[in-house]
Amino acid sequence: MTKEVAVLGVGMHPWGKWGKNFVEYGVKAARDALADAGIEWKDVQFVSGGDTIRNGYPGYVAGATFCQAMGWSGARVASSYGACASGSQAINNARAQILAGLCDVALVVGADAAPKGFFAPQGGDRPDDPDWLRFRLIGATNPIYFGLYARRRMEIYGATEQDFAKVKVKNSRHGLNNPNARYRKEVAKEDVLSSAIVSDPLHLLEICATSDGGAAMVLTSMEYARKHATDPVKIAGVSTVTPNFPNTVIEMPNFATDSAAAVAPPETPFKDSITKLAYEEAGLGPEDMSMAEVYDLSTALELDWYENIGLCKPGEAEKLLNDGHTTLGGRVPVNPSGGLACFGEAVPAQAIAQVCELTWQLRGQAEGRQVENAKAGVTANQGLFGHGSSVVVTK
């Protein structure tokens, strides 16, 4: 099992709208992660930052920005961007350094201060940028794509607005006692369905907000970890795959899918391939997972993930939800943290936060939302422009 690295410490700055600089959120999370690991900042040999594109130049070089704020220590540094998958890019880069024997101790940090409302493309007149053009020519906001996926589930599987609303109800209960969650209020199905429609069939309460927040973790070699902790939680698989051609599902920020006129679509569609590689690296399968943290940018998207990560077959996600299997106390709770429904999205921190949650769960420290007898968990996420993101965490 030489491919494992240890999660020696984790830390987060609570999600919210705090009106502060993103660096403060990241440093708070980093300091908590170091304290949790029981090591000093100066022990860190490699710093892996998840970038934000919404906070000027310091956000583009997030790794070094956090290093400076923590106090220059001479550590090696990298900064990664992969849109919503930036956090797992940063995790993967830290892991690669450790597994290559280039360092024993790495600190992964991601933080964001997000604007209110719709995410917008970068400014200026940029007709060569598909992300700019999709807003200009179609008004295709992110919720437009979420709405297309949600409607597709209704049209081909007979999913209902009630099913989607129940995802929000579940997640709002999961996050009630999570000290890092932004929204800690129980939401009833009627609340969801009576909130304004943003992109039909999705209501305001079904689409994740944009948040400020920070998450960090100390990753180390297994050898180093054994000297500092008994039985640390491990990262057993990380997937940062891109799609295989042709990708026949319409995805942000594209105007069209790839054409399958000359080449047949791959056997494993992109979203299914994301966790597949992480499972393979870990030598585990979906049946071995005690829980999952998936990217519920919308309620309906959480149901897509159930199928993409192998918890059930295509078209069976609504049944899995309605039978209570993905609720705390069920067979495989999904988003025990409360998910994006309770957090909102702090882009470069989110994929790191997913792993923080699984770590607390596997240690038995997820007070008020503990998955019983948790042995392994998986995260799943996707960044626009084709970034897969999945991490398998084990006891």
Partner 1 sequence: MAKTKVPAIDDWFRMDFAEPQLLGSRCTECGTYFFPKESHFCRNPNCSGTNFEEAPLSPRGKLWSFTNNCYPPPKPYMAPDPFVPYIVAAVELEREKMVVLGQVEASVKINELSAGMDMELYLETLFEDDDNEYIVWKWRPVA
Please give the residue ranges that form the binding site for partner 1 (CB under 8 A).
Answer: 117-118, 120-121, 123, 125, 127, 132-141, 143-144, 146-152, 155-156, 196-202, 245-246, 248-250, 254-263
CB closer to partner 1, 35 vs 197: 197
Amino acid letter, 294: V
Minimum distance between the CB of residue 248 and partner 1, rounded to whole angstroms? 7
Structure token pair of residue 292: 């999952």
Q: Which is nearer to partner 1, 62 or 150 (CB)?
A: 150
Shortest distance in whole angstroms from residue 149 CB to partner 1: 7
CB 290, CB 375: distance < 8 Å: yes
Direct distance between the N- and C-terminal alpha carbons of the chain, in angstroms, rounded to an integer? 13
- Structure tokens belonging to residue 172: 């709002």
- Residue 99 phi, psi dihedral angles, 5° rounding: -70, -25
Q: Which lies closer to partner 1 via its Cβ, residue 160 or residue 365?
A: 160
Q: How far is the CB of 244 from partner 1 (least distance, A)?
A: 8
Return the ∠ at Cα 22 (arms to 20 and 27), rounded to 5°: 105
- Chain-centre distance of CA 368, in angstroms? 21
* Cβ proximity to partner 1, 121 vs 330, nearer residue: 121
Q: Least distance in Å: CB of 127 to partner 1?
A: 7
Our CA angle for 108, 109, 112, nearest 5°, is 155
Nearest distance from C-beta of residue 245 to partner 1, angstroms: 5
Tell me the C-alpha to C-alpha distance, in Å, between residue 167 and each of 98, 188, 305, 321: 38, 11, 12, 8
Closer by beta carbon to partner 1, 102 or else 120 = 120
For partner 1, the closer CB: 35 or 260? 260
CA-based radius of gyration for the chain: 20
DSSP state of 82: B
Cβ contact 15:212 at 8 Å = yes
Closest separation between CB of residue 310 and partner 1, Å?
Answer: 24
